[in-house]
Amino acid sequence: MASDLKEISRRVFEEVWNDKKVDVANELMTGDYVHHDPQSIIPAGIDGYKKFVSYYLNAFPNLRFTIEDEISEGDMVVTRWSATGTHQGDLNEIPRTGKTFSVTGITMARVVNGRVVESWSTWDALGLMQQLGHTVGVTTRAA
């Protein structure tokens, strides 16, 4: 069971984000999926999550996640990750800068019947803004 949870989490990072197959989220998450992220305003539901992913992939087309560690217990999987990319599209009111970035974060996901129903993420949004040369307004809106 623990390896199954890790595989589901790994697929979110590898397939949905790194391979840019946003629709794979339909297989991995429930329709009423809820994403908790204090740095981002994300509409509830799988469509909200897919908009969130597309928003960041538009701003950072070469965005790449690396899974550093994964731990699972019960119905929860925790993934410590790093992400790199180049700012090639608008991010809120921040026009494309062409600057590269590297941030770290942790995502904890609850999996029921092989699908993610809810997750909590915390990541270095301030570090991202600083690397882009912008420190005002670190909250992002993917709606």
Domain total in the chain:
1
The sign of the CA dihedral 84, 86, 88, 94 is positive
Distance CA 92, CA 138 (A): 9
Q: Report pLDDT for 40.
A: 80
Question: Which of 18-22, 91-95, 105-109, 118-122 is predicted with the least confidence, judged by mean pLDDT?
Answer: 91-95
Q: Distance between CA 60 and CA 77 in Å, rounded? A: 26
pLDDT 10s digits, 45-86: 999 999 999 999 999 999 999 999 999 999 999 999 999 999
pLDDT at res. 88 = 97
103 and 2 Cβ atoms separated by less than 8 Å: no
Q: Which domain holds residue 35?
A: 2-141
Lowest mean pLDDT among 46-55, 122-131, 134-143: 134-143
Q: Indicate the pTM of the whole model.
A: 0.89
pLDDT in tens, 103-120: 999 999 999 999 999 999
Tell me the CATH number at 37: 3.10.450.50
Mean of pLDDT over the chain = 92
Q: Nearest Cα to 87, choosing from 121, 130, 44?
A: 130
